[in-house]
Amino acid sequence: MQPLCFLHLSVFVDLMAAVWQQVLAVDARCEDPRAQGARGHRRSVSRGSYQLQAQMNRAVYDERPPGSLVPTSVAEASRAMAGDTTLSENYAFAGMHHIFDQHVDSAVPRLQFANDDKHLLACCSLDGTLSIMTLSPPPPTVKVTLKGHAGPVTDFAWSLSNDIIVSTSKDGTLRIWNTEDGRCIREVADPEGSELLCCTFQPMNNNLTVVGNSKHHLQVVNISTGKKVKGGSSKLTGRVLSLSFDAPGRILWAGDDRGSIFSFLFDMATGKLTKAKRLVVNEGSPISSISARSWISREARDPSLLVNTCVNKLLLYRVVDNEGTLQLKRSFPIQHGSQPLHSIFCPLMSFRQGACVVTGSEDACVYFFDVERNTKAIVNKLQGHSGPVLDVSFNCDESLLASSDATGMVIIWRREQK
């Protein structure tokens, strides 16, 4: 009877893994609540643990060669839909679509397309302002400039419905902006008077924003009231430089300037933060960017975290449990010694073999890497900036890529249409 039981378990695990793949195939962006929020509804999220998900994935993958894909009908169908184009062909760019220079001579540390939008883009600058730009109808123009901060703007985030932007500044304030007319709706001063360095919305509750400051503190703020959330604060080992939630909003990762990444469990009902895990990536090397993704592609195996830190590498981690524990999966060489570089996962689930991430670099280039390719992982390299590339952002259908640099230039790149 023991062999029979083992057979039943194996069939069950294979069946569950196949079902999970088919669920992902229904909606390429189902794991990203920001895209759904822009349409005015929220998809319910399974509360299954990362451990169960990882076990199911490993049951399918352990007998496969490294880097191979799940041999399911879903995988074959997705490749057929792509027309057998390679990842390099998919991420080939025809050239520059437009250049914005309204922040020239002041670095643009962050930029981001609006949620589920092809043509609306925002960026912040160390000159103390933010810009909201529209790329269509042509010609591309600056729609509105957000003015009010008395110091360099360090970070910002779009709300799910794109009607609000929150921004942080070295002037010690968090500001909430109306994106239509550029009005500052509310200003929230840091109670410690410290520089605010990063911010992010809670993905399932946009009344709550998490802010990191220069005095090592992390704080959840209710932007409707402007008040700190009780129990929603914690302290890191250094200045808080980067933040990222997982898609369901249950785990928050925070990186500091001393090389540590902390994971926190977020209580949805109260906004309370509970410190869970700490990883020292490299002592003394600032963690300038963290990006979380539940699945890299339709056929990739694990929840993942993409990390920029000043060790001349882009790092990709697996999330191995529901407390946010990280395990290094692989790294990619880039020039990164001191600048606050950022990177992203490509927003669409790939129909092709492989999966792509994009990062800025201090050599003034934009790099595309295939995370499933063991050798020669560079898929594409864009040249055109005159200074370190600090941030990159895709629009929702990947037809346009935006990049910003330390000289204040923003370049819009247009992907080739096959």
Q: Token pair of 77, please? A: 């169908």
Q: Is 300 exposed, middle or buried (0-12, 13-18, 19+ CB in 10 A)?
A: buried
Indicate the length of the chain as a whole number: 418
* Cβ count within 10 A of residue 268: 13
pLDDT digits (tens, 9 = 90+) for 120-148: 999 999 999 999 999 999 999 999 999 99
Four-point Cα dihedral 401, 404, 409, 413, nearest 10: -10
Against a cut of 0.85, is the pTM above it? no
354 pLDDT more than 80: no
Per-residue CA distances from 106 to 172, 231, 324 (Å)? 19, 37, 36
355 to 311, 372, 377: CA distances (angstroms): 23, 6, 10
State the Cα–Cα distance between residues 361 and 4, nearest whole angstrom. 54
What pLDDT is recorded for position 48? 41
The whole-angstrom separation of Cα 115 and Cα 396 is 7
Domains and CATH numbers, the chain: 87-415 (2.130.10.10)
Task: Please report which residue ranges of 225-347 form alpha helices under DSSP H.
Answer: none
DSSP code string of 150-205:
SS-EEEEEE-TTSSEEEEEETTSEEEEEETTT--EEEEEE-TT-PPEEEEEEETTE
- pLDDT 10s digits, 47-104: 344 444 444 444 433 444 434 333 344 445 445 544 456 777 778 887 899 999 999 9
- Of 415 and 272, the structure prediction assigns the larger pLDDT to 272
CB 393 within 8 A of CB 360: no
